[in-house]
Chain A
Amino acid sequence: MKTNQSAAYFFLAPAISAILLFFFVPVIAALLMSFTDFDIYSLGDYSFLKFVGFKNYISLFHDPLFWTALKNTFYFVSVAGPLSILVSLVSAMLLNSKLVKFRGIFRLSYFIPVVTTLVAVAVVWRFVYHPRFGILNYFLSFFSIDPIDWLGDPIWAMPSIILMSVWKNFGYNMIIFIAGLQNIPEYLYEAAEIEGANRWQQFKSITLPMLAPTTLFVSIITMIGFFQIFAEPYIMTQGGPLNSTLSIVQYMYQEGFRWWNMGYSAAIAFTLFFIIFVGTTIQFKIQKSSELI
């Protein structure tokens, strides 16, 4: 038994040491950095580095821009998250229906946005949202709605980003949902039909419970991904207008790699980590308690 174990450790050693070296060491270094004022001055001369304790975290709580970024991120996650899951679930069920023809083509076309380069997508969407020439405002003009400056108006900018992100990302979750749906044994539905259950009852009592593990997985992955929202607003609006689309990760990136306030930036990173950690724990708790029922 003992020899078996040491053999296992021997074979695991490369992987474990790689993880230790390239994951834990940087994370711990970043944690330590978040307690210093590491910046461009310190980069030139380490004697300009100061241990500041929790000062970064404290000034973070007094930083209005951080709160704006946090608010924007929560706004994004709480709207785009459920919306994305809903859209992907609905499209997965449509594609899984036996009535649909050319399933492959639909599946492919819904999945294409996921694999398309974001920059290319952003260019197209910027035109869609253009206040004077955009197709969206053109459609709205049929309903005599005044043109909206989608990306330029602080109120509309975030919904615009959400719409684009959902469109871009739902295909991925859809594929996972399709896999989940195909794993539900057909006889359950047959039995339900014999018992006289209608479509809605079937969905509520068979599809949803059977999909629960998939839904948990999808919602956690989506939440983690959306909390780290960066590229979409970065390319579409650079966080503007009036910082209405500035996300936490973008703020962290700006502070760290644009202005080289590494210590402060690390503090933002760990705050975000803590938020995601709490969010994921809550989701697990909810899932567990619903299983008990």
Chain B
Amino acid sequence: MKSSWVLYSFRSSILRIITLLFFIASCDSHQKEFVEIKFWAMGSEGEYVQKLIPDFEQRNPGIRVKVQMIPWTAAQEKLITAYASDNLPDVFQLGNTWIPQFTLLTAIEKLDKWVESSQKISSEQYFSGIWNTNVIDSSVFGIPWYVDTRVLFYRVDVLKKAGFSSPPKSWDELYILSKKIKKLQNDPEKYAIYLPTNEWAPFVIFGIQAGSSLLRENNTYGNFCGEKFKKAFEFLIRFHKGSLAPTGISQVTNVYQAFKQEYFAMYISGPWNINEFKKWMTDTLKDKWMTAPLPGMGDSYPGVSLAGGSSLVMSRESKHKKEVWQFIEYLSSPETQLKFYNLIFDLPAVKSSWQDKSLRNNPYMDAFYKQLQYVVATPKVPEWEQIAYSKIQQYAELAARNVLSVEEALKRLDNDVDRILEKRRWLLSKKIN
């Protein structure tokens, strides 16, 4: 404890010297009349959000926003490294599954007080499932910026040929439809649905639909061997084993081309793919594809999907929290949300923005709007990313390729997950004592 204090005071004294130097330098040229806040955003969000900044700065002459774009693939590394070196920006974008991690690091500010006193932001404006991903131990840590969820992308023409005028509404329908499509294709090199094992989302979605809690005992053990998850897992693996879905992932180097060539007719994916599919499905194929909410397990339609998207969070160390909040409020206003949608087609987090004609006239959006009423969060533990990306995908692949039986795969999955959560159990037991 003491050493970290020494380190901290050493660091802060260096910081002080640096700020002093900057102060002298800035005094030299001209007096600063504005507050500068640093904003980190990922990928294309980081690119396009810059177009909104001039408007914000015009409305708030005292604030300048410096946007830094960071690539998605390195985003988490960069943010955690920035945290470790006390260099976090004042405000940044966080994928909403990362919020537990940053809350745990106490890197981000609790926003309850800010939301309470705000006239512009309240939880009712948002899809409740999405808002929930930002709530940890009943405190809010992020404000949804844009949302995403996974729905069913399907080929209208192929489904029609198989005798389905509307997309499947239940698991059984999905399976029967897939069988029919496969039969119609009459080609071992074509498939009904694309369920790549390097995407964990469908496995988790179907698990949640079946009623599984995924983890158990206060999220300290894996619960994948449970009957409910097993049922969902078995159901999806049946598609691979029955050649209704391709097993490997390397055959599909280009998902869009494969969709166009009817290599598969259905794919569970998110809004980021809408424009890509539009680009590929041209001319006669233009109206041959559509989106639909996910089928449910029984009669409940639509079935739940995952609450995805990104939130805006405030660094706890920020010196300009008031200005940061103003900026978050600006980005969360229905008008800005719409503007942002029209720039890069990120789905607005604020529900009222969906009433605008630019969204209502887009036929592919309807499914997303319906689905967003039925979204849930993944378990809010910092280890979730590792569990999902490395373990669930690993064992899904092993089961899909028939290397392991479903029982064996899930048993090993639970084993590995229990090991990953070991530290969490230790911490929780420490807290109780």
Q: CB within 8 Å of B: which residues of A?
A: 37, 39-41, 43-48, 50, 59, 126-127, 129-132, 149-153, 237-238, 240-243, 254, 257-260
Whole-angstrom distance from the CB of A152 to the nearest CB of chain B?
3
A40:B382 contact, CB within 8 angstroms = yes
Whole-angstrom distance from the CB of B74 to the nearest CB of chain A?
9
Interface SS of chain A: helix, strand, loop or mixed?
Answer: loop
**Docked pose: A254 CA to B389 CA in angstroms:** 11
Which one of A132, A151, A242, A254 lies within 8 Å of B397 (CB-CB)? A242
| Complex A-B: 26 CB contacts under 8 Å | A40-B101, A40-B104, A41-B427, A43-B84, A43-B105, A44-B104, A44-B105, A44-B106, A45-B106, A126-B253, A129-B250, A130-B250, A130-B253, A131-B250, A131-B251, A132-B251, A149-B248, A149-B250, A152-B248, A241-B248, A241-B250, A241-B397, A241-B401, A242-B403, A243-B394, A257-B77
Check if B354 is an interface residue, CB within 8 A of chain A: no
**Docked pose: A25 CA to B382 CA in angstroms:** 30
B253:A260 contact, CB within 8 angstroms = no
A48:B251 contact, CB within 8 angstroms = no
Whole-angstrom distance from the CB of B293 to the nearest CB of chain A?
31
Can you name 8 extra interface pairs (CB under 8 A) apart from A41-B104, A41-B423?
A40-B104, A43-B80, A130-B253, A150-B250, A152-B248, A152-B251, A242-B401, A242-B403
* Nearest opposing residue in chain B for A243, CB measure: B394
Which residues of B sit under 8 angstroms from A59, Cβ to Cβ?
A: 419
Query: CB-defined interface of B80-109 with A at 8 Å, one 1/0 digit per residue?
Result: 100110000000000000000100111100
Q: Which among A37, A40, A46, A50 has the highest number of chain B CB atoms within 10 Å?
A: A40
Q: Which among B80, B250, B251, B426 has the highest number of chain A CB atoms within 10 Å?
A: B250
Query: CB-defined interface of B147-172 with A at 8 Å, one 1/0 digit per residue?
Result: 00000000000000000000000000
Check if B4 is an interface residue, CB within 8 A of chain A: yes
Q: Please provide the 7 A-B residue pairs with the shortest distance between their CB atoms, ordered closest to farther.
A: A152-B248, A152-B250, A44-B105, A259-B386, A151-B250, A46-B4, A257-B77
Check if B249 is an interface residue, CB within 8 A of chain A: yes
Whole-angstrom distance from the CB of A69 to the nearest CB of chain B?
13
Which residues of B sit under 8 angstroms from A150, Cβ to Cβ?
A: 250
**Docked pose: A31 CA to B386 CA in angstroms:** 24
Check if B198 is an interface residue, CB within 8 A of chain A: yes
Known contacts A40-B104, A43-B80, A260-B80: A149-B251 contact under CB 8 Å = yes
Check if B1 is an interface residue, CB within 8 A of chain A: yes
Whole-angstrom distance from the CB of B412 to the nearest CB of chain A?
9
**Docked pose: A243 CA to B250 CA in angstroms:** 14
* Nearest opposing residue in chain A for B385, CB measure: A259
Residues of B403-433 contacting chain A, CB below 8 A: 403, 419, 423-424, 426-427
Check if B398 is an interface residue, CB within 8 A of chain A: yes
* Nearest opposing residue in chain A for B76, CB measure: A258
Check if B390 is an interface residue, CB within 8 A of chain A: yes
* Nearest opposing residue in chain B for A127, CB measure: B253
Residues of B1-48 contacting chain A, CB below 8 A: 1, 4
Residues of B94-135 contacting chain A, CB below 8 A: 101, 104-107
Which residues of A sit under 8 angstroms from B426, Cβ to Cβ?
A: 50
A48:B248 contact, CB within 8 angstroms = no
Which residues of A sit under 8 angstroms from B424, Cβ to Cβ?
A: 41
Which one of B83, B251, B383, B390 lies within 8 Å of A43 (CB-CB)? B83
A39:B390 contact, CB within 8 angstroms = no
**Docked pose: A17 CA to B80 CA in angstroms:** 29
* Nearest opposing residue in chain B for A132, CB measure: B251
**Docked pose: A140 CA to B386 CA in angstroms:** 40
Which residues of A sit under 8 angstroms from B398, Cβ to Cβ?
A: 242
Which residues of B sit under 8 angstroms from A257, Cβ to Cβ?
A: 77
A40:B80 contact, CB within 8 angstroms = yes
**Docked pose: A254 CA to B250 CA in angstroms:** 21
Q: Which among B104, B389, B403 has the highest number of chain A CB atoms within 10 Å?
A: B104
Whole-angstrom distance from the CB of B70 to the nearest CB of chain A?
15
Residues of B362-417 contacting chain A, CB below 8 A: 382-383, 385-386, 389-390, 394, 397-398, 401, 403
Which residues of A sit under 8 angstroms from B248, Cβ to Cβ?
A: 149, 152-153, 241
Which residues of A sit under 8 angstroms from B189, Cβ to Cβ?
A: 132
Which residues of B sit under 8 angstroms from A151, Cβ to Cβ?
A: 250
Whole-angstrom distance from the CB of B75 to the nearest CB of chain A?
12
**Docked pose: A127 CA to B253 CA in angstroms:** 9
Which residues of B sit under 8 angstroms from A48, Cβ to Cβ?
A: 423, 427
